[in-house]
Amino acid sequence: MTHSLLPWRAAVVGAAIFTSLPAALAAPTEQELMHDNPSGSYLAARHAGTERDSATAAAYYLNALKADPRNPDLVSRAFLSVLTDGDIDQAGKLADRLLQLDRTDRVARLVVGIRALKQKDYATARQNFTQSVRGPVTDLTATLLTAWAYDGSGDVRSAIDTMDKLQGPDWYSIFKDLHAGLILDLANNKKEAAKRYDRAYKVDPTAVRTVEAYGRFLARSGNKNDALKIYQDFNKALPDHPLVMQEMKAVADGDKIPPLVESPQAGAAEALYGLGASIGRRGGEDLALIYLQLALYLEPNHAMALLSLADLYESLKKPDLAIKVYDRVPPASPLSRNAEIQVAGDLDLLDRSDEAKKRLDRVIAEHPKDTEAIMALGNIQRGRKEFAECADTYGKAIDAIEHPEKANWVVFYFRGICYERSHQWPHAEADMKKALELFPDQPLVLNYLGYSWVDQGAHLDEGMDMIRKAVEQRPDDGYIVDSLGWAYFRTGNYDEAVKNLERAVELKPDDPTINDHLGDAYWRVGRTLEAHYQWSQAKDLNPDKEDLPKIEAKIKDGLPDDNKSAAEADKKKPGNGG
């Protein structure tokens, strides 16, 4: 019987997770729109909006707008849908219409201001930015953008004064100092730029764009060693970031590195990217989409903005949209490899695993020791139950690691899973022990190894202790609690099995295997009606194909008599695990 610690169900780091994604609404064709009445288009647009399908929503809203062109609600909804879909030229036209109906619409003001900034009409840009404020985030946004518009007009002093006058939360400071540094850097005011960069860096030395800006500035100012130290310190905290690694090498080689931004448009794009990426990570998806799309309108090849937008689409369960954005990352960017790896994961979520593997195979062929790409391939194979293949793939990742450290526990754990599932228990056991050597008392490994021993009737006391330790660390992890309950079941302690499996079902009520386990435990303690109920629940929760016939047989005939004692189980030879 399948149990809760197996790889396709366990709570594991970096696993490929398969979810039931709603089918994406296909954007309507012109012919389809011609036959839609305004009410139908409006309802279709609202539905598409709830599914966060902005392209389809925009098409239907624009169709409904033809019948009622001055309806402010329709204009506003069409504008926001077009904007979040990234058609900023069309959004600008709708913003003009919207401002004729409501001159106070702040998002429309922002879009019109960005359009003016791109066209180098800096006075119009400033005028609209000052009317786009409403709260802490938008206040800061308008201030940074206004500063860049002043810079475009050649008024550096007003740009800096605008930012310095803004009062607000402490987190404003890193944005204000970074952008003041960027503006002063462009103006060749090295002394003041250095002060601002240094202040921003001290607030957060792990902010990648601050590190890049400051490192580039120091290198161009002749402070090569200081620049390298900035990069090296970042690399110790967050190893192997592609942008930082590229710049560190360039500085070490004596190459010329330009400023992080070289125009007011690039500076405004950087401000929108930084704010969009930050608020997107904190639950502000709608505003983040707008900011990132506007950043890309100003700087279409901004690789960090592209990755942030794609990541946002992934968090919204839109892997198809994420793929389109990742594919826009310039091939020459050091982030293109990261984009390829992410695309593979999204393709796999869309059940296009063959395409995903081909993408990763290309990356690995170019970079044979790229452990991130190798792990991504192994995760896809493991998620697809290609256990012999994933064991081999994870082995390549292990071979590429010269000196395994604590962080490498996961690759041994994953390979151990693949060995166990492909019936190579001695290899699996060795990998699990290695994972625990690297990361003692890691709960996932304790759970897997401990359960496997108990399930085989080997090392019963040690195995049970391991599972208990795992539960102590993760008492609310339904899968690990299930493992403890099922271990009690396997050793004949049915009362404890019921107690723990009931708890596991409370934590994971929609898991078929846990419901199936509880049904078995109920049967053994004589609660047969409840056993049949749990088995029926398990059947209705889409169990694995290999488990369904077993569940149906139990619903029909119950469990066979228990003729095995714990002592007999102890004689069972290890090797078949799970």
217 pLDDT band, cuts 50/70/90, is very high
6 pLDDT band, cuts 50/70/90, is very low
Mean pLDDT over residues 160-171, rounded? 93
In a domain? residue 341: no
Task: Give the C-alpha separation, 308 to 314, whole Å.
Answer: 10
188-211, pLDDT tens digit by residue? 999 999 999 999 999 999 999 999
In a domain? residue 460: yes
The answer, yes or no, to whether residue 154 has pLDDT greater than 90, is: yes
Domain end among 235, 262, 289:
262
The answer, yes or no, to whether residue 339 has pLDDT greater than 50, is: yes
| Percent of the chain with pLDDT strictly greater than 90 | 80
What's the pLDDT at 19? 27
Query: Which one has a higher pLDDT value, 339 or 133?
Result: 339
In a domain? residue 426: no
Q: Is the dihedral of CA 507, 509, 513, 517 positive or negative?
A: positive
DSSP result, 333-389: STTHHHHHHHHHHHHHHTT-HHHHHHHHHHHHHH-TT-HHHHHHHHHHHHHTT-HHH
What's the pLDDT at 283? 81
Least confident of 23-37, 148-162, 501-515: 23-37
95-111, pLDDT tens digit by residue? 999 999 999 999 999 99
Query: Which one has a higher pLDDT value, 197 or 545?
Result: 197
- Provide the number of structural domains found in the chain: 2
User: Quick one: tokens of 248?
Assistant: 């560190």
* Residue indicated by tokens 């149906």: 552
DSSP result, 441-500: T-HHHHHHHHHHHHHHTSSHHHHHHHHHHHHHH-TT-HHHHHHHHHHHHHTT-HHHHHHH
The answer, yes or no, to whether residue 9 has pLDDT greater than 70, is: no
Give the domain extent around 452: 441-578
Residues in contact with 70: Cβ distance below 8 Å, sequence separation at least 6, in sequence order? 101
In a domain? residue 517: yes
| Residue 404, phi-psi category: left (phi > 0), alpha (psi -120 to 50), beta (remainder) | beta
In a domain? residue 524: yes
User: Quick one: tokens of 541?
Assistant: 């929760």
Domain end among 203, 230, 262:
262
Mean pLDDT over residues 45-70, rounded? 86
Q: For residue 82, which of 70, 67, 68, 97 has the smallest C-alpha distance? A: 97
419-460, pLDDT tens digit by residue? 999 999 999 999 999 999 999 999 999 999 999 999 898 999
The answer, yes or no, to whether residue 20 has pLDDT greater than 50, is: no
Mean pLDDT over residues 282-300, rounded? 94
What's the pLDDT at 484? 96
What's the pLDDT at 198? 97
Average pLDDT, the chain: 89
In a domain? residue 472: yes
What's the pLDDT at 281? 85
What's the pLDDT at 43? 87
Q: With beta carbons less than 8 A apart as the criterion, state whether 413 and 448 touch.
A: yes
In a domain? residue 577: yes
The answer, yes or no, to whether residue 184 has pLDDT greater than 60, is: yes
What's the pLDDT at 27? 63
What's the pLDDT at 133? 79
- Biggest CA pair distance of the chain: 88
DSSP designation for 13? T
What's the pLDDT at 370? 93
Taking residue 29's Cβ as centre, other Cβ atoms within 10 Å add up to: 9
In a domain? residue 107: no
Domain end among 262, 289, 322:
262
Mean pLDDT over residues 472-498, rounded? 95
378-394, pLDDT tens digit by residue? 999 999 999 999 999 99
503-529, pLDDT tens digit by residue? 999 999 999 999 999 999 999 999 999
Mean pLDDT over residues 44-51, rounded? 82
User: Quick one: tokens of 452?
Assistant: 């496997």
What's the pLDDT at 18? 24
For the chain, first and last CA: distance in Å? 7
What's the pLDDT at 282? 84
Task: Give the C-alpha separation, 46 to 64, whole Å.
Answer: 11
What's the pLDDT at 36? 57
Least confident of 268-272, 382-386, 570-574: 570-574
Mean pLDDT over residues 50-78, rounded? 88
The answer, yes or no, to whether residue 258 has pLDDT greater than 70, is: yes
The answer, yes or no, to whether residue 11 has pLDDT greater than 60, is: no
17 pLDDT band, cuts 50/70/90, is very low
Tell me the CATH number at 562.
1.25.40.10
